[in-house]
């Protein structure tokens, strides 16, 4: 059996790893420090020391889906629902640009109130501000994705959640794993930068399954991959589940950076929910993107995917100053570009 240290050293040079070695790296902790340092070197070599800040607008917490792990699931009656009006979304984007953001991320539950025409209106007006636009609004048809791209959307984030079809069926009732994959393929065909990702620590999820997820991201040549630990929500059927572990999620970020050296990898909010230094530790383990919340007021608390979410009481101005300070403290700098992937 190969020594794991040599596996890390080889992956740093070749950006290749066997599935069995990925599983061993996830399971074993002996060489974690070497793994994180190798991922950080690859990150610096291929995407540099800049960290891209992307302003996140969570514009609706209404969702027609009923995913077992998500606080926004339609069966959750304990959440106050909201929709931000189109002109208010545009105003939030304008304020975010004033704070220095070069990318706006529009995220919501799967809420059919926002028709293609409404979304086109919002996107085209934000596009006038000379920013990149990322959408994270779920499954649409090819024609809908095409219309949103034409309106000015640049990137689309749609997590596969898990590549294990059985686990997907159990976690996402009434949804089609094949259609999820079709959405990802459609987005690629239309010229979007495609973002995807998975939840780490779902009930009955194996380390082999997580290794398959990583290999899937590499196989489809994803432009951005965001992963985070599953955090059980008391208002979901998985309220008593164990949840994911920060260190496993951090290792998966590092392995992804070794295998996909030039992609964008965010240090997600969920990482800091489990570890007070979660985002900076993840930035030092291969990540190069942070997505601070630029939604204002009560909406920040109501987008309750999971409990303990950080920064819900902060203002957008405080958030950008706080994360900028953390980035500078670890010897990195905030990027001034829109942060498109520069393929090697």
Q: How far apart are CA 344 and CA 223, in angstroms?
A: 12
Q: How far apart are CA 286 and CA 255, in angstroms?
A: 8
Q: What percent of the chain lies above the pLDDT cut of 70?
A: 100
The token pair that represents 43 in the structure block:
């990150």
In the predicted structure, residue 72 carries a pLDDT above the cut 90: yes
Grade residue 1 by pLDDT with cuts at 50, 70 and 90: confident
Q: How far apart are CA 126 and CA 118, in angstroms?
A: 13
Q: What is the mean pLDDT of residues 196-221?
A: 98
Question: What does the pLDDT read at residue 344?
Answer: 83
- CA neighbor of 123 nearest in space, from 146, 99, 100: 146
Question: What does the pLDDT read at residue 63?
Answer: 98
Biggest alpha carbon distance in the chain?
59
Question: What does the pLDDT read at residue 299?
Answer: 94
Q: pTM above the 0.85 mark?
A: yes
CATH numbers and ranges of domains, the chain: 20-333 (3.20.20.70)
pLDDT tens figures, 130-160: 999 999 999 999 999 999 999 999 999 999 9
By DSSP bridging, strand 155-157 and strand 193-200 are: parallel
Q: What is the mean pLDDT of residues 267-274?
A: 96
Q: What is the mean pLDDT of residues 76-80?
A: 97
Question: What does the pLDDT read at residue 313?
Answer: 87
Question: What does the pLDDT read at residue 56?
Answer: 98
Grade residue 67 by pLDDT with cuts at 50, 70 and 90: very high
The token pair that represents 316 in the structure block:
């957008």
Question: What does the pLDDT read at residue 9?
Answer: 98
- The distance of Cα 119 from the centroid of its chain, to the nearest Å, equals 21
- The distance of Cα 89 from the centroid of its chain, to the nearest Å, equals 20
By DSSP bridging, strand 193-200 and strand 103-108 are: unpaired
Question: What does the pLDDT read at residue 255?
Answer: 98
CA distances from residue 301 to 114, 228, 305, 308 in whole angstroms, order as listed: 21, 19, 10, 10
pLDDT tens figures, 152-183: 999 999 999 999 999 999 999 999 999 999 99
Question: What does the pLDDT read at residue 312?
Answer: 87
Backbone phi and psi for residue 56, each to the nearest 5 degrees, phi listed first: -100, 120
Q: Is 161 helix (H, G, I), strand (E, B) or coil?
A: strand
């Amino acid at each position: 059996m190969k020594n794991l240290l040599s596996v890390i050293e080889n992956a740093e040079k070749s950006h290749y790893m066997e599935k069995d070695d990925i599983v061993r790296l996830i399971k074993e902790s002996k060489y974690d420090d070497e793994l994180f340092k190798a991922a950080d070197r690859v990150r610096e070599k291929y995407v540099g020391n800049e960290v891209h800040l992307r302003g996140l607008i969570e514009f609706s917490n209404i969702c027609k889906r009923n995913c077992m792990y998500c606080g926004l699931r339609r069966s959750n009656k304990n959440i106050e629902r909201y929709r931000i009006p189109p002109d208010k979304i545009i105003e939030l984007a304008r304020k975010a640009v004033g704070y220095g953001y070069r990318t706006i991320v529009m995220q919501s539950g799967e809420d059919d109130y926002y028709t293609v025409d409404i979304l086109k209106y919002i996107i085209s007006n934000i596009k006038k501000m000379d920013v990149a636009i990322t959408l994270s609004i779920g499954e649409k048809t090819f024609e809908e994705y095409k219309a949103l791209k034409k309106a000015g959307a640049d990137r689309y984030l749609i997590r596969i959640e898990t590549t294990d079809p059985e686990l997907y069926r159990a976690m996402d009732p009434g949804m089609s794993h094949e259609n999820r994959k079709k959405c990802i393929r459609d987005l690629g065909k239309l010229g979007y930068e495609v973002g995807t990702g998975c939840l780490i620590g779902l009930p009955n999820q194996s380390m082999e399954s997580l290794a398959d997820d990583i290999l899937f991201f590499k196989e489809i040549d994803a432009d951005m991959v965001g992963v985070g630990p599953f955090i059980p929500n008391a208002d979901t059927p998985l309220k008593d589940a164990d949840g994911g572990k920060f260190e496993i999620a951090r290792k998966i970020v590092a392995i992804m950076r070794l295998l996909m050296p030039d992609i964008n990898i965010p240090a997600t909010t969920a990482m800091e929910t489990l570890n007070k230094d979660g985002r900076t530790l993840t930035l030092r383990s291969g990540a190069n993107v942070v997505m601070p919340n630029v939604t204002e007021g009560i909406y920040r608390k109501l987008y309750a995917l999971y409990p303990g979410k950080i920064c819900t009481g902060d203002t957008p101005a405080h958030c950008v100053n706080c994360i900028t300070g953390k980035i500078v403290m670890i010897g990195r700098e905030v990027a001034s570009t829109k942060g498109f992937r520069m393929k090697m």
